[in-house]
């Protein structure tokens, strides 16, 4: 299949222009580290609003690689925006990333505990791809802490069709150079291959669980207002996944973006940011 996407949170292509855009917002972003559950987690923070918002990146992603337009442009008066690098990803290394069966649960606990350590008693979650799965679990496990949630490119279970998609992108040597280069710059070529193959195996193991569940049983426990966004041209996440989420998360609503692909928040950043701001400010 044509690799015209960032799989599970890896961007389409990081051009020089895009990286220049990253540098522009860095002047208003504060970076730091916080020891959480035995790991020094790296995070970036911007804005001065009363509404705290945590950005949760996708597989192998980080705040800077996955959320440049959101760190730059989400209202700094309305929101305090925090982007984090999950353990083993980006700048939250060591440790090296591993993928035990509870890796999403582990990320969800790390994310919530990071926000508590940063003294945000309540916050909203914006989760992309794997980060969306993490957000689903965090919201279900911590209803008293989560104000609102937005997820896109995410799924609560792994189907046989999903496994085929994942296996089709296992071999990174088949990716284009522009696809590989940004991750090789972060991890180095060998560690990138190892970590990506680990992710493919890690996500695939859920297919062996009853109904392929990652967190299906937790969805009815989510009580916060929830917005599910789906790009109708997303080749990584079939449309039955957002339909399942909206059916099983009480009071949630689904917004479709006809031209959106897996990285819709990057390709259509202005539209996405406005949609999210309107939802969070309601």
Which of the residues are catalytic?
129, 234, 262
Provide the 3-class DSSP secondary structure of residue 99.
coil
In sequence order, what are the residues at sequence separation of 6 or more whose Cβ sits closer than 8 angstroms to the Cβ of residue 209? Answer: none
Q: How far are the Cα atoms of 89, 129, 190, 224, 227 from residue 212, in angstroms, in the given order?
A: 25, 17, 30, 25, 23
Residue 38 burial by CB count (10 A; 0-12/13-18/19+): exposed, middle or buried? Answer: exposed
45: number of CA atoms within 13 Å, CB side? Answer: 18
* SS3 assignment, position 82: strand
Tokens of 160: 């046989």
Dist. CA 62–CA 56, nearest whole Å? 8
Give the tokens for residue 190.
């060998």
Q: Rounded to an integer, what distance in angstroms lies between the CA atom of residue 88 and that of residue 270?
A: 30
The whole-angstrom separation of Cα 64 and Cα 91 is: 10
């Amino acid at each position: 299949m044509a690799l015209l996407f960032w799989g599970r949170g890896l961007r389409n292509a990081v051009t020089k222009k895009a990286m220049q855009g990253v540098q522009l917002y860095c002047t208003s972003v504060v970076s730091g580290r916080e020891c959480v559950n035995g790991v020094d987690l790296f995070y970036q923070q911007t804005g001065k609003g009363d509404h705290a918002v945590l950005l949760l990146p996708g597989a192998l992603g980080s705040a800077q690689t996955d959320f440049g337009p959101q760190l730059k442009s989400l209202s700094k008066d309305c929101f305090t925006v925090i982007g984090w690098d999950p353990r083993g990803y980006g700048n939250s290394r060591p440790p090296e990333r591993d993928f035990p069966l509870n890796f999403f649960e582990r990320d969800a606990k790390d994310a919530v505990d990071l926000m508590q350590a940063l003294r945000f008693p309540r916050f909203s979650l914006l989760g992309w791809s794997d980060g969306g799965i993490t957000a689903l679990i965090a919201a279900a496990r911590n209803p008293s802490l989560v104000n609102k949630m937005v997820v896109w490119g995410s799924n609560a279970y792994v189907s046989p069709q999903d496994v085929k998609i994942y296996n089709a992108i296992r071999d990174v040597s088949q990716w284009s150079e522009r696809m590989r280069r940004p991750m090789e710059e972060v991890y180095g070529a060998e560690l990138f291959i190892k970590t990506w193959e680990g992710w493919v195996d890690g996500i695939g193991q859920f297919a062996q669980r009853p109904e392929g569940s990652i967190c299906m049983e937790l969805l009815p426990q989510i009580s916060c207002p929830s917005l599910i966004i789906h790009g109708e041209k997303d080749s990584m996440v079939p449309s039955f996944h957002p339909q399942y989420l909206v059916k099983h998360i009480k009071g949630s609503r689904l917004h479709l973006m006809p031209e959106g692909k897996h990285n819709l928040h990057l390709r259509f950043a202005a539209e996405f940011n406005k949609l999210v701001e309107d939802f969070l400010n309601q």
